[in-house]
A and B are shown apart, each in its own frame.
Chain A
Amino acid sequence: MQLTINGDARMIDRADTVEQLLHVLGLDPRAVVVELNRQIIRRPAVAATPVAEGDVIEIVHFVGGG
């Protein structure tokens, strides 16, 4: 499946949901905010939100330092 993740075209095997995609990318859903096609996916919805061919995904890490 071809996805655009953080501006880069990526081929991803087997990720039906946002949660599975984060798992494939090695990311903890609690440490990031995900935008799917410019819509923020809130943490409780991450497991149930499907990912499809051609989706545009932005992943933002929590960064707290100053």
Chain B
Amino acid sequence: MPNPPLFSSDELLRYARHLTLAEIGVAGQAKLKSARVLLVGAGGLGSPAALYLAAAGVGTLGIVDSDVVDLSNLQRQVLHDTAAIGEAKTASARRRISALNPHVNVDTFDERLASANAREIIRGYDLVLDGSDNFPTRYLVNDACVMERRPLVYGSILRFEGQLSLFVVPGGPCYRCLFAEPPPADLVPSCADAGVLGVLPGVIGTLQALEAIKWIVGIGDSAAGRLLVFDALQLRVREIAVRRDPACVVCGDHPTLTELIDYEAWCGASQFADAGTAIEVEALALARVLQEAAAPFVLDVREPWEFAVAHLAGSHLVPLGDLPGRLAELPRNREVVTICHHGARSRTACALLVRAGFSPVRSLAGGLDAWARVVDPTMRRY
């Protein structure tokens, strides 16, 4: 009995421009169709990557994300639209991908990638594309990819800078060969705290899709062994050679890290070693003490536009950058609680105030985002 045809006439037409390319053709398109790619994060990087991989005819896309679509995502996360606000990103992604190319199977994981599930999820795919937005997840993805021997298309972004590489291919380096250990958490801001040009993840996420497709089809020179650093403002690309480190703890000749660890704690440990002076207060505890007679002075260190979106009644606004010159506005006979969006800038402010002799000072853990989650659900999140 003859084998059923690989592609329907609809698919042949859909992929016609690929089939015409000698480097892809029917054989390459068949490789794409049988490929399984896991996207960690359906955010700024995951959005363009998912769209281009789906359009290109990658047979199965897995998407891990536990977030819901937020209005502030739409400046760059082109997989989601205004109607999807409040919806799980995985559900929004599935709908959009199916509308773009119904021949793609979409697996959704509406959960955070964690040490308990990472290896099992990653094992089910041929290649992993990292579009996560934090260092604990980046180290987790890298280590799990090394342990499961899955290539990792790395991309990351902040402000106007993007980075791209291909890690964990035979003989090549892994993320830790370059970034052996994480920076103190307060030192490197997130996109939420420092901003990101919306089109930048479009550039880097699209390059990640490009590297994934080249690897699957087996064409061209990959980004393995080199880190591309893209400067959007200068429109320059630097290329830095990265070699596998034989002493790497996870992919070296004698690895000492052979099981996944608690990445939040590990990345947080270096954070605490640095801003050891920052003592945190949980949102619920702060809500209680604000009812008391000797309520603390609440110092909001975000930017004015953020304050305009949402703030605590009675809080005092001094953006972090202005704080060193405006200490005179703060009381010295009363506890100060510093707050920001997610709790990173407020920790820096807290440490700054302690050094300036203020006491006691505490920082709201998780920022106003945590407050909106556990204390005041009516507060506008962004």
Whether B238 lies near A58 (C-beta < 8 A) is yes
**CB-CB nearest in chain B for A65:** B191
Please choose the segment from A15-23, A30-38, A46-54 that sits at the chain B interface, where 4 or more of its residues have CB less than 8 A away. Answer: A30-38
Please choose the segment from B30-38, B156-164, B360-368 that sits at the chain A interface, where 4 or more of its residues have CB less than 8 A away. Answer: B156-164
Complex contacts, B161 vs chain A, CB 8 Å: 61, 63
Given the known A-B contacts A6-B238, A31-B188, A35-B240, are A63 and B178 also in contact in the complex, defined by CB atoms under 8 Å? no
Query: Would you mind naming 7 contact pairs between A and B with Cβ atoms under 8 Å apart?
Result: A43-B181, A60-B178, A62-B187, A63-B162, A65-B196, A66-B41, A66-B45
A26 within 8 A of B: no
Complex contacts, A28 vs chain B, CB 8 Å: 187
Q: Shortest distance in angstroms between B122's beta carbon and chain A's nearest beta carbon?
A: 17
Complex contacts, B41 vs chain A, CB 8 Å: 66
Whether A58 lies near B183 (C-beta < 8 A) is no
Q: Shortest distance in angstroms between A43's beta carbon and chain B's nearest beta carbon?
A: 7
Complex contacts, B131 vs chain A, CB 8 Å: 66
Given the known A-B contacts A64-B133, A65-B44, are A31 and B229 also in contact in the complex, defined by CB atoms under 8 Å? no
Q: Shortest distance in angstroms between A44's beta carbon and chain B's nearest beta carbon?
A: 10
- In the docked arrangement, what's the CA distance between A62 and B163, Å? 10
B94 within 8 A of A: no
Among A6, A42, A61, A66, which residue has its beta carbon within 8 angstroms of that of B132? A66
How big is chain B's contact interface, by range? Answer: 35 or more
- In the docked arrangement, what's the CA distance between A62 and B190, Å? 11
Complex contacts, B135 vs chain A, CB 8 Å: 62, 64
Whether B245 lies near A40 (C-beta < 8 A) is yes
Whether A7 lies near B188 (C-beta < 8 A) is no
Among A6, A33, A38, A66, which residue has its beta carbon within 8 angstroms of that of B179? A33
Whether A65 lies near B183 (C-beta < 8 A) is no
Whether B156 lies near A64 (C-beta < 8 A) is yes
Whether B158 lies near A30 (C-beta < 8 A) is no
Complex contacts, B268 vs chain A, CB 8 Å: none
B72 within 8 A of A: no
B201 within 8 A of A: yes
Whether A63 lies near B181 (C-beta < 8 A) is no
- In the docked arrangement, what's the CA distance between A13 and B286, Å? 49
Given the known A-B contacts A60-B229, A65-B191, A66-B132, are A43 and B156 also in contact in the complex, defined by CB atoms under 8 Å? no
Q: Shortest distance in angstroms between A58's beta carbon and chain B's nearest beta carbon?
A: 5
Complex contacts, B190 vs chain A, CB 8 Å: 64-65
- In the docked arrangement, what's the CA distance between A28 and B187, Å? 8
Cβ proximity bits B180-218 to A, threshold 8 Å, 1 near / 0 not: 111110011011000010000100000000000000000
Complex contacts, A66 vs chain B, CB 8 Å: 41, 43-46, 130-133, 155-157, 191, 201
B328 within 8 A of A: no
- In the docked arrangement, what's the CA distance between A30 and B274, Å? 10
Q: Shortest distance in angstroms between A52's beta carbon and chain B's nearest beta carbon?
A: 20
5 smallest beta-carbon distances between A and B, as pairs:
A65-B191, A66-B133, A66-B131, A63-B156, A65-B158
Q: Shortest distance in angstroms between A35's beta carbon and chain B's nearest beta carbon?
A: 6
Q: Shortest distance in angstroms between A33's beta carbon and chain B's nearest beta carbon?
A: 6
- In the docked arrangement, what's the CA distance between A66 and B41, Å? 8
Q: Shortest distance in angstroms between A7's beta carbon and chain B's nearest beta carbon?
A: 6
Whether B158 lies near A64 (C-beta < 8 A) is yes
- In the docked arrangement, what's the CA distance between A7 and B241, Å? 13
- Interface set, chain B 86-138, CB cutoff 8 A to A: 130-135, 138
B227 within 8 A of A: yes
Complex contacts, B133 vs chain A, CB 8 Å: 64-66
**Which of A6, A31, A64 gathers most chain B CB within 10 Å?**
A64
**CB-CB nearest in chain B for A61:** B161
- In the docked arrangement, what's the CA distance between A60 and B162, Å? 11
Whether B184 lies near A30 (C-beta < 8 A) is yes
- In the docked arrangement, what's the CA distance between A58 and B227, Å? 11
Complex contacts, A65 vs chain B, CB 8 Å: 44, 133, 156-158, 190-191, 196
Whether A64 lies near B188 (C-beta < 8 A) is yes
Whether A63 lies near B238 (C-beta < 8 A) is no
Given the known A-B contacts A35-B240, A65-B196, A66-B157, are A60 and B227 also in contact in the complex, defined by CB atoms under 8 Å? yes
Q: Shortest distance in angstroms between A2's beta carbon and chain B's nearest beta carbon?
A: 19
